[in-house]
Amino acid sequence: MKIYSKEELNNHSLSLTYDDLSLIPTVISEVKTRSEVNIKSKFMGIELAVPVVSSPMDSVTGITMAKELSSLGALGVVNRFGSTLNELFADDKIVEGIKAVSISLTSDEGLIEKLAASNLIICIDTANANNAYVLKKCEEIKKKYKVKVMIGNIAHGGTLRDIVNAGADAVRIGIGGGSVCTTSIQTGIGIGQISSLLDVYFARKEMKLDIELIADGGIKSPGDVAKALACGADVVMLGRMLAGTKETPGEIIKYNDQLWKKYRGSASFGVKMKGEFIEGEETMVPYKGAVKGVINAISDGLKSSMSYLNCETIDDLRKKDTFAILSTSSYLERLPKK
């Protein structure tokens, strides 16, 4: 069996995603227990206890979710839909515990000014960062305010220098990989999430660019989180893994003697207006209880992975360069059997 480096994975003939890949321990680990592992990191100037950022979807991150994630040492990006942004300010002061907020290309200048004055990270939430109007918006914000800006999404590193020149501090990587995203089906755009991430990672490295990388989409488990970080991501952005928790917007629904919550893509029919082009789906996910349980499971799984790989810190994990490409049968063999 061949053990692949990140560079070899990046040059692979096929597009790869998380299920195609496995991390391979090749040295004796000196980590006694996972409790010795430190997964703290810094992202866009914020200290994180766990390298997780929530997706600014209207069924994932409202004010309640953002505040709870902040208390857990993760980062919540408040969605830009409905009345959410209006609820951010009480008596003209930002709600406490909020660190990042998404906006659209047409967001009111007054809102942007308030967000900048509160020193919040601004996320320009679009499906395609390879767009002159997105880059212009980023450049305008960076020239006018001292504020951190993340933009997205991209699937390839070919335009990374343009994105950095526009002033972006972080970029979301992945097009079409979200579980309720139909962009790739509707448009034919996108490649596997691992290949997207590696291409941007090496573009940043080769051009020596100063920008942080967000692996956005397709992450289903703590193991996928470990793979994304090992392939160069600074943080992972989660949607479905956080969906269905108590803190997500929306009511708990009882159906067939089971509890559920709605989950939908930002370009789904429920979010967009009738007659607009739809690139997302709506579904129901089982109710999961408090988001703290999900974050704890990610933390435990990531620490366990790092203990196998003899990694005491996230920086150690990012230096790992030993991967296997799985056959379909090899992947299926690893799934729990009922």
**104-118, 145-159, 272-286, range with the lowest pLDDT:** 272-286
To the nearest whole percent, how much of the chain has pLDDT over 90?
80
Q: Give me the chain's average pLDDT, please.
A: 92
Q: Which of 38, 36, 59, 40 is nearest to 48 (CA)?
A: 40
Neighbours of 143 (CB within 10 A): 8
Is the per-residue pLDDT at 272 higher than 70?
Answer: no
Is the per-residue pLDDT at 268 higher than 50?
Answer: no
The tens digit of pLDDT for each residue in 28-75 reads 999 999 999 999 999 999 999 999 999 999 999 999 999 999 999 999
Q: Are 150 and 214 in contact (CB under 8 A)?
A: yes
Is the per-residue pLDDT at 183 higher than 80?
Answer: no
For the residues 88-110, what does the mean pLDDT come to? 89
* Annotation says 181 is catalytic: yes
Pairing of the two strands 258-264 and 253-255 = antiparallel
Strand segments (E) across 217-299? 235-238, 253-255, 258-264, 282-286
Q: Which of 123, 181, 231, 311 is catalytic?
A: 181
Q: What is this structure's pTM?
A: 0.92
Q: Which residue has the tokens 């799985």?
A: 326
157 DSSP assignment:
G
The percent helix, strand, coil of the chain (3-state, each to 5) is 35, 20, 45
All structural domains of the chain, each given as residue ranges with its CATH number in brackets, are 6-251+291-333 (3.20.20.70)
Q: Which of 175, 150, 178, 174 is nearest to 163 (CA)?
A: 150
